[in-house]
Structure 1
Amino acid sequence: MPYNYCFYIHHHGAGHLMRAVAIANKMPEHQITFIGSDLMRHANAIPDYVDCIHLPMDTPTKQDSYAKSESKSFLHYTPLNVHGLLERNGLMIDFFRRNPQTIIIVDVSSEVTLLARLCGIPSVVIRQHGNRTDPAHALAYESADLIIAPFSQEMDTPVNHPFWNKTLYAGGFSRYTDCKATLDWEAKDIGILIGEGGSPINSSFVHHLRKELPKEVKLHVVGKVEPSTSSLDNQTHVFYHGRVDNPQEALRTCSRVICNAGHNTIMELADLRKKIICIPAERPFNEQTDKAFQLERLGCAVTVLEQHMYTVDWNACLNYADCIDLDRLQKLTSSNAISNIKKGLESLSEKHFVHSTDKVTSYEQYS
């Protein structure tokens, strides 16, 4: 193919990269590039046919002695005199110069979307939940040729998203979508799944939950958390699995899972047919809180706000979770989601590149 699909992947958490990997796995016939600051952390998951461009971080270092932060309404991150920021923008522009026939899929950054547009590179923005009506998002959404929502339209609120009319609601997906798990009626344990983007779920909470639940209930903790020294005397039937590449086996005996409301986490648990109790973590634009609200509205999860995690009746919450309709939960994802995204991207490439000669001629008549 003469054109390139370039995925800009934000380094916060693991969900952005895993989403790009899932899409790339369905497009092996295309030329695909990943570009981001922390790609090596999940290098084993990136397909061999994907080229990677590693960007420096855009945060000040000790060498940036003149660095300072300035707030602007039309951008989210606007530091001055940061060498890493200048270097990463230069690397992206160099890539665009070498690969002018590129579609960039931005997951996520308003600044990268606008940089690509200023370079004349067609852009696609991955839509996230949350209140994103601020000027920076509005500029990015307006400049994008296509907005892709990796969830169904019923999980969105158009009033909070003025560009919904140019959004492709592809449906949700995860690495487990094409092999959705069957319901294990013997699964009675409780899972605690901690993502990598920052979470209020920690050893103190595990200790609290252990005290609240009957002693015979087994807890399986997946993620970066270790038992605190003060809680070692209260670890009966608590199993710490640590970080795992594939949480499916660690959660095999769990029917209900307590987690944050990160997109990738929710979609994976839906495909694994786990009943979800989510504690939305603090994120910019209230992303996880909005997603948790949508999930609860659809009857797909029980939500506990962070400020209530030590006061809520957890036995009652888990009983509520038992009432979640698994068929409704499973509709959060679709086996056609990535195919829908692939078609959208290929259609955009055809629009911009397949008939590019005719378009140049039509522009010349106005010069």
Structure 2
Amino acid sequence: MKKPIAFFVHHQGRGHANRTMAIAEHFSRERPVSVMTAAPEQFAGADPRIEVIALPNMIGDAVPTPRLFEEPTPSVMHCVPLGLSSMRRTMRTILDHLDDRDVGLFVVDVSSEIGMLGRIASVPTVQIRMHGDRSDIGHVGSYEAAVGLIAPFDEKLEQADYPAKLRAKTTYTGGLCTTRDPVLSRADARARLGLPEDQKVILVLTGGGGSGTPYAPLTMGARAVPDALWLVAGPVHREGHETDFANLRELGWVSNVTDHIAAADIVIASAGDNTVHEIARVGAKFVVMPEWRYFAEQHRKAEALCALGAAVTASAWPGDYAAWQALLGAAEALDPAALRALHNPDAARNAATWLEGLADELWTGAEADTPRLTVVAAE
């Protein structure tokens, strides 16, 4: 029987869950697979052979005493408050599952602490990598403790300052997009959506990982380019003083994101992993406006995109007509082929193939009678 592969899946946004499901569906049928997450509802409708284990959602849990709260976080960790029973239950659930299922490979998407926990529990662990300034001891330690790293993006998007020894441990799957909707021509997408054939369409695409794109700058854009139809898909953040304009439409959440991207002349979006690759899959002209994330994840990814000529950006949302016009003019000059080349339709399959191969390689010979290594106590 093949060794089980287990995933830890972070509950922020839907990208981690969607990526896990996309990878797991390419595992061989005889490979047991499980997921541990604080957002089990995100796996409703997933392949029934994926065992889902619910973890406590610790967000908002209060530290019991001021004295515990005052204890500093050690530099090797990022967020491990003291005194939380939910933290103990989370760690116990993970360890019990790894032990009960005799897991052969533990894939962490994402958490440095959980990655280290896997290594401490003597389970081979793989970390899913993200962009960002992650040279701190916590990140580097978890990467060094892993038997391998997966970057769900094209190697051309790698950061120039990423350490060579960790790059050597990284498998680049190519741009991984979990969307499967067919990509229509611009004319067909506009016909399906009931959009005018001859009007410029600017799509603003927001995701579920943050509080929403600020609405006020979009009203300035609508005024700066009044002949364009501005469509906003996803949540926006309002401050209460904005004025609406007829050429600026809020669509809320849409189920046919691919059609909207295909119909647009320019797409404005954040630098979230799946968002970037959704746009790359269609091959649109891309204005990337990175959102605040821990360790400057989206800003570093935006820098890499712009260095490749795959997108343009601004240091902040434009606040005047000329700045908007200049930014959109730069986007018009882009060659969409540069962005399109970063998407790989086989990325999820590449990740699954590598993970299964690694699991088998690590455990080949495990039934041998003579152990290869004797463990001795450290002094």
TM-score, scaled to structure 2:
0.87
CA contact (8 A) 2:64 2:83 kept: yes
How much does 1:287 deviate?
0.8
2:216 aligns with: 204
**1:218 matched to which residue of 2?**
229
The equivalent of 1:168 in structure 2 is 171
What do residues 279-321 of structure 1 show as CA deviations (whole Å, max 9, x unaligned)?
Answer: 1111111111110000000000011223x43256112211211
Give 1:198 deviation, angstroms.
1.4
- 1:150-188 CA distance string (max 9 Å, x none): 112111135323410111111112124795554559583
Task: Give SS of 2:13's match.
Answer: coil
> Counterpart in 2 of 1:32?
33
Secondary structure of the residue that 1:208 maps to in structure 2?
helix
Residue type matched to 1:173 in 2?
L
CA contact (8 A) 1:105 1:125 kept: yes
- Which residue pairs with 2:193 in the alignment? none
Q: Is the 8 A contact 2:112 2:142 kept in 1?
A: yes
Q: CA deviation at 1:73?
A: 0.8
Percent of pairs identical after alignment?
27
Does the CA-based 8 Å contact 1:281-1:288 persist in structure 2? yes
User: Of 112, 117, 120, which aligns to 1:118?
Assistant: 120
Distance 1:119 1:239, change over 3 A: same
Q: Describe the superposition over 1:258-284 as per-residue Cα deviations: whole angstroms up to 9, x where unpaired.
A: 111111110111112221101111111
How many residues in Structure 1 have an aligned counterpart in Structure 2?
363
Partner of 2:10: 10
Indicate how the Cα distance of structure 1 residues 63 and 285 shifts in structure 2: closer, same or farther if over 3 A, else same. Answer: closer
Confirm whether residue 354 of structure 1 aligns to residue 357 of structure 2: no
Does residue 331 (structure 1) correspond to residue 341 (structure 2)? The answer is yes
Unaligned runs of 5+ in 2: 189-196
Which whole-Å CA distance do the structure 1 matches of 2:174 and 2:128 have between them? Answer: 12
- Which structure 1 residue ranges, 5 or more long, are not aligned? none
User: Which residue pairs with 1:279 in the alignment?
Assistant: 289
Alignment match, 1:256: 266
SS of 1:303's partner is coil
- Structure-2 residue corresponding to 1:242: 252
Contact 2:6–2:105 under 8 Å retained in 1: yes
- The answer to whether 1:155 aligns with 2:157 is yes
Aligned residue runs from structure 1 range 63-212, under 5 A: 64-65=64-65, 67-68=68-69, 70-162=72-164, 163-176=166-179, 179=182, 181-182=184-185, 184=187, 186=197, 188-198=200-210, 201-212=213-224
Call closer, same or farther: CA 1:360–1:331 in 2, change over 3 Å: farther
Structure 2 CA distance for partners of 1:79 and 1:182, relative to 1, 3 Å: same
Distance 2:219 2:228 in 1: 13
Q: CA 1:314/1:249 → structure 2, altered by over 3 Å: closer, same or farther?
A: same
Question: What per-residue deviation string (whole Å, max 9, x for no partner) do you get for residues 105-146 of structure 1?
Answer: 111100000001111111111111112111011111111011
